[in-house]
Amino acid sequence: MTTLRLAVGSDHAGLDLKRQLAAHLRELGHEVADLGTHDHESCDYPDFAAAVARAVAGGQADLGMLICGTGQGMAIAANKVAGVRAAVCLDTFSARMSRLHNDANVLCMGARVVGPGLAEDILDAWLGASFEGGRHQRRVAKIAALEE
Active site residues: 68, 101
**How far is residue 20's CA from residue 97's CA, in Å, rounded to a whole number?**
24
Nearest of 92, 101, 93 to residue 119 by alpha carbon: 92
| End-to-end Cα spacing for the chain | 35
**How far is residue 35's CA from residue 22's CA, in Å, rounded to a whole number?**
11
Residue 20 CB-density burial (10 A; 0-12 exposed, 13-18 middle, 19+ buried) = middle
